[in-house]
A and B are shown apart, each in its own frame.
Chain A
Amino acid sequence: MNHAQKAEIFNKNEAKVNWHDKALWYVREKRDNAAHGVKGWEQLRDLASGVKAHVLSNLDELLIEFETNAQKNGITVHWASNAEEHNKIINKILTEKNAKKVVKSKSMLTEECHLNPYLESKGFEVVDTDLGEYIVQIAKETPSHIVLPAIHKTKEEVDTLFQEHLGTKPSDGNPEYLTNEARKHLRTKFLTADVAITGVNFAIAETGGFVVCTNEGNADMGAHLAKTHIACMGIEKLIPKEAHLGIFLRLLARSATGQPITTYSSHFNKPTEGSEMHIVIVDNGRTEQLSREDFRSSLHCIRCGACMNTCPIYRRSGGHSYDATIPGPIGSILSPGKDLTKHSSLPFASTLCGSCSNVCPVKINIHEQLYKWRQIITKDVEQPVVKKTILKMTGKVFSKPKFYGLAGRSVRFMLKYAPRFLVYSKLNAWGKARELPQIKNGNFDQWYKEKRSK
């Protein structure tokens, strides 16, 4: 099913769509208020974009610098060219450590690599400790948003889910009660975990350290209690210097949730005595995206999710309608680079309104890249015959004023005189919920000829 079909299903329940739209619009407004509180917000975006462009231009050297410094600090660095290698590296570490239980904090990269099902197939217990991630994990779903993974679920739905999985009492969706129950359950998981896996928000080339931002403190809890900490990062997560954190930490949480900063911005620099720290640096298609000039800046992304919260389509179609690890506008320019055919409907799931590009803290020209992907998709992916034929013929008609004049007259004649059942047939998607324009007697050309011909 393509995006439009999934979106149509999501829209069968209008009350839920309204709820989903309002919940995310609330976050968008919080973001606006938070950004208004920062003097020079737009300059900060320019800076962030500039730093990221610099990183992408010097990625080779910065990655080596990061590796060298991380090793100096006693961190073991691994390189994975794809998801499979990433998963194997983690399997190897877990096996060497004789680990059984793994706690994970939020990491879109491990979602991208499908790490959970892989580790489970090898017999490891993997628990997602971010509350939203935990909810989608026990529901056997995928995150529908990169910052708010369970935003598609109402609190009542979470209540039912917890009753099934945690044996909670019915609470009418009481968030405090449910969160406390999840916390109790997760506490034992933290205390008994052998290995903690986290993502990375920013990796600093200059120091070899990295920063993980969470609101629940679950990354710290996992990393401090387990003897081994594995951090997974895409190659684009680098920033050159620690001082650059001042730009990105100002932007990240404000863009994501409207908070001035995440509750925890945890700096990891070296393992404590008696424990181990590993970093897995993953390519998985990023170098290829880097080679595409028109789409390179999509790698600026710091995964704040602001483009999702502002996107009027995302808010009304839900994250799962995109059928991709990263949904929404940014996902729609990243995913086609991974599998053009599978994700070919995503760049069309937009009106090109441009709101995504405006909120993006690292100034990715998302809507322009959507336009560019469309041009590639119509050439490289088989298109529905009717759509293709109509548009190609339209191109011919527009290139010849005489054809155009004739076509205009025919369309107006048909709209005016054809019986309603014919005009509003099943083939007319416009007319399903909308009236067509009422036809006037003549067009502007005719009026001008009669009234103004000089």
Chain B
Amino acid sequence: MRVGLFIPCYINQLYPQVGIATLEVLEKLGVDVYYPSGQTCCGQPLGNSGYEEDAKGACQVFVENFKEYDYIVGPSGSCIYHVKKHFDIIEQTPDVINVRNNAFELCEFIVKILGITDLGASFPYKVGLHKSCHGLRGLHLGSCSERMDAHYSTEEDLLAHVQGLELMSLTRKDECCGFGGTFAVFEEAISVKMGKDRIQDHLNNDVEVITGADHSCLMHLEGLINRNKQPIRVMHIAEILNSSI
């Protein structure tokens, strides 16, 4: 099984430690993982802003980079969702179809494809899980509070096996943080308010570290935490799964 590692643009440039943790976790699990050079972006910021047409070049670059792999794995639910859901704007060649079908968010790949939930990690902190919307409602990484289905959560399955980690319960279990890509800038007031409310929920429930499978949401929350000097921090779930504290 050859796995292509997809490192989303903002993680590559701004959060290399998340990319490193993702790679190291996959290597620990014995995955034959490759990092194709020349990656750019999945095109999500353009599509969500209404400029899908201008993202076609980015989609083509993505497919070219990953067409030879059995699986494409990346540490960002919304980017993977974009590949699976919105790469319908380019011609559906066998390569495009394969790439769309075989793109997986990191947690889902570990639990569903590798069938592993215990990574032998330890992280002795009180952790709050931010269930990012595109991963949750788009990729169905877990059950949603709106739907009357049985409870499940891919990320919780993984975190449950991390030694010393105490997963804290939240008052609003899966409300959006207000990032939303360019929404964060064009609807600044609401975006900020939503983020503040989300952080407060974690603080009210004694969370020390907010984690999640989509670092873009965490980037937004971190921006607020740092500005307001709040006693809480964010870490991508890959960083926790890669910890042995």
State the A residues within 8 Å of B (CB). Answer: 3-4, 7-8, 11, 14, 17, 21, 25, 32, 35-36, 38, 41-42, 310, 312-313, 316-317, 348-355, 357-359, 371, 374-379, 387, 391-392, 394-401, 404, 408, 411-412, 429-430, 432-437, 439-440, 442-448, 452
Pull 10 A–B residue pairs with CB atoms less than 8 Å apart, ordered by A.
A8-B189, A14-B193, A17-B193, A25-B172, A41-B148, A378-B50, A408-B13, A434-B195, A436-B223, A444-B16
Nearest Cβ on chain A to B16's Cβ, whole angstroms: 4
Roughly how many angstroms separate A430 CA and B11 CA in the complex, as a whole number?
Answer: 18
| Contact of A430 with B39 at beta-carbon distance under 8 Å, contacts A316-B190, A442-B16 already known | no
Judging by beta carbons under 8 Å apart, are B54 and A433 in contact?
no
Top 4 A-B pairs ranked by shortest CB distance? Answer: A399-B57, A351-B180, A434-B223, A395-B54
Judging by beta carbons under 8 Å apart, are B12 and A310 in contact?
no
Nearest Cβ on chain B to A335's Cβ, whole angstroms: 16
Judging by beta carbons under 8 Å apart, are B190 and A317 in contact?
yes
Chain B facing A: main interface SS: helix
For B208, what are the chain A residues with a Cβ–Cβ distance below 8 Å? none
| Contact of A447 with B20 at beta-carbon distance under 8 Å, contacts A32-B146, A354-B137, A411-B13 already known | yes
Judging by beta carbons under 8 Å apart, are A348 and B227 in contact?
no
Roughly how many angstroms separate A365 CA and B62 CA in the complex, as a whole number?
Answer: 27
How many pairs of A and B residues are in contact by the CB < 8 Å rule?
A: 211
Q: Which A residue sits closest to B43, measured CB to CB?
A: A398
Q: Which A residue sits closest to B194, measured CB to CB?
A: A312
Nearest Cβ on chain B to A374's Cβ, whole angstroms: 3
For B17, what are the chain A residues with a Cβ–Cβ distance below 8 Å? 440
Judging by beta carbons under 8 Å apart, are B35 and A432 in contact?
no
Using A316-B194, A452-B35 as known contacts, list a sample of 7 further A-B pairs with CB atoms less than 8 Å apart, ordered by residue number in A: A32-B146, A391-B45, A391-B46, A400-B57, A430-B184, A437-B222, A444-B20
Nearest Cβ on chain A to B221's Cβ, whole angstroms: 9
Judging by beta carbons under 8 Å apart, are A433 and B13 in contact?
no
Judging by beta carbons under 8 Å apart, are B149 and A352 in contact?
no
B29 at the interface (CB under 8 A from A): no
Nearest Cβ on chain B to A351's Cβ, whole angstroms: 3
Roughly how many angstroms separate A375 CA and B55 CA in the complex, as a whole number?
Answer: 12
For B58, what are the chain A residues with a Cβ–Cβ distance below 8 Å? 395, 398-399
Checking B12, B47, B175 against A444 with a beta-carbon cut-off of 8 angstroms, the contacting residue is B12
Q: Which of A316, A377, A444 has the most CB of B within 10 A?
A: A444
Nearest Cβ on chain A to B150's Cβ, whole angstroms: 11
Judging by beta carbons under 8 Å apart, are B61 and A401 in contact?
yes
B4 at the interface (CB under 8 A from A): no
For B133, what are the chain A residues with a Cβ–Cβ distance below 8 Å? 351-355
